[in-house]
Each structure stands twice: as C-alpha cells, then as structure tokens.
Structure 1
C-alpha cells in the first residue's frame, strides 16, 4: 500500500537542492511506485517566454525516481544516496511544451531493480489528468557512491 508522503519534505527524499530541485511534493510511494507533483515555475532554468521545452520532462521523471529511492532509504533508516540517470527509451510527448503554472503529476513504476543498483522505470507525466509525456528510464544507484564518484583516479 502506498504511503502518503505529502508531509515529508522533498529535501528529505531527493539529493537535489536549490534551483535544481524541481519537485514540489511527493504525494505517495510504495515498493514499486511513486507519485510526485511539480509546478512549472517562471524562474526555472529552462523556461523561456513562459514555456519549458517538453524534453525537460525527463528530469522531472528522474527526480520522481530519486524520491522513490530516497523514500526506500528513509524507510530503512539510511541516508539518501546519489543516483544517476543512464538513459531514456521511448520518450513520447503529447504536447509541445510545459507552460508556466502547469501542475505536473509525475508517476513512475519500478519495472526492475537489481542488487547491483541498476534499475528500469516506466514513467509518465500528466497535466490536468491528460498524458503529457511517457518514457522508460534506466537508472543506477552506486552501491558505494564515494568510491564511484572518486574522480581523482585513486582507490577509495
């Protein structure tokens, strides 16, 4: 059964901060699904002339998946981890742009999550209950993020 997360701050579930944190709230999450909400803001980095290109939907989807992973960590008493978007398949759009003020409902369902941190999610974005975009996202949550993100070339 999905847990109502409306009272949990997005910052507790997603590592994104400041202008790169796009979700307003995480409505619910369970072992397989997450539902988040975001309003397209006029000061968003990608907004021009009151519109955001529809391809930014991939980032909204990725942040919803990050919230799913963050909630999973929270329930286990663990810290939120860094996750990586590896790729997107079958990104289909049903509108030309997102407009400032649009309230997006982002839904994602875990299709596969391996013990190695690799996962696949089926994701959708709705605006006023109309399907706006859909895609399959491949993600990776490194088991040891500090070793994985060590760019110095030294062993962790």
Structure 2
C-alpha cells in the first residue's frame, strides 16, 4: 500500500507543515516521521525545543483526520487543537540528526467533532523496537463540520 504525501493530509502550507512523511496508518492509529536538521523550523542551531512536540502530535492527529477524510473521498478539513494533557518529555530538545516517530492513537471521537488521542514521540533510531519514548501526552481536538459557519457563529456570539 502506497501512503500519500503528508502535505496532502494536513491543512497547513509551506514550512508550517512540520512533519516530513507518513510511516504507517491503521484504523485508529497513525505514525509520522520528523527528521531534525539545522533547517527544521524552530531549530536553535542544535535542537528543536521539546515544547514543539505538542505541535508534532497535533499535526499527526490532523494527518490522521485528513487520511480518513481522503479515504472517504472527502476533502481535508481544518480542525482545532483544544489542548494537551499531561505532556511529559524526557529531554529538553530534539537534537539535530534525530529521526522522530510521532505516534497517535484515537482514544475517543464524538459525533460533535470532539476527539482525544493518545500520543507519543519516540526516537526512531533507538535499538529497542518501539524506540525510546521522548514525549507523550493526550491531545484533545475539535473538528467542526463547517469551519466557516463555526467561526462565524463564534464571531457573532462574541459581538457586543
């Protein structure tokens, strides 16, 4: 099975697509890869701060949603990162030369567009088959049916 280019799955453009490629996709899971180089967005010359891991996780969730949408013949839709819970890291940053695998697993998905995903970032080059866990969290997301209607509704409710 040939996997699509990750840029077709994430509703970001240009350098804001932080993931490099898709590694695998399952019914409830996805694994994406990030290769840390000196040119990687948010790299300070030696590493990318581990705080960026939350965005790696969020984009992997977006790729999962995009893959599901494309599988149904639908277009990729915008979603919102609502938050992260218990984001824990084992390192202050992801060093240049690191190859990271970002794993996401759907924990729940409501008909209202709310979802939660268990996420982890592992060192893909670690000798252990699963890699050393560098970060993990639960990511909560929201994907409205129609993002423009949703934003208009929020705008109207916020008006005084």
What TM-score, normalized by structure 2, do the two folds share? 0.87
CA 1:23–1:45 in structure 2 vs 1: closer, same or farther (change >3 Å)?
A: closer
Aligned position for 1:146: 148
| Structural RMSD (CA) | 1.8
Q: How does 1:113-124 map to 2 (within 5 A)?
A: 113-124=109-120
Contact 2:118/2:139 (8 A) holds in 1:
yes
User: Does 2:77 match 1:81?
Assistant: yes
Aligned position for 1:27: 23
Aligned position for 1:112: 108
Structure 1 segments unaligned to the other structure (5+ residues): none
Report how far residue 153 of structure 1 moved. Answer: 3.9
Report how far residue 31 of structure 1 moved. Answer: 2.2
Q: How does 1:6-21 map to 2 (within 5 A)?
A: 6=3, 8-21=4-17
Structure 2 counterpart of 1:38, from 34, 38, 42: 34
Secondary structure of the 2:152 match is coil
CA 1:51–1:122 in structure 2 vs 1: closer, same or farther (change >3 Å)?
A: same
Q: How does 1:117-132 map to 2 (within 5 A)?
A: 117-127=113-123, 128=125, 129-132=131-134
What TM-score, normalized by structure 1, do the two folds share? 0.90
Secondary structure of the 2:87 match is strand
Cα distance in 1 for residues equivalent to 2:98 and 2:153? 39
Report how far residue 16 of structure 1 moved. Answer: 1.3
Contact 1:5/1:28 (8 A) holds in 2:
no
Report how far residue 102 of structure 1 moved. Answer: 1.0
Report how far residue 30 of structure 1 moved. Answer: 2.2
Cα distance in 2 for residues equivalent to 1:36 and 1:5? 14
Report how many residues are paired: 151
Structure 2 segments unaligned to the other structure (5+ residues): 126-130
Report how far residue 151 of structure 1 moved. Answer: 8.1
Secondary structure of the 1:72 match is helix
Aligned position for 1:92: 88
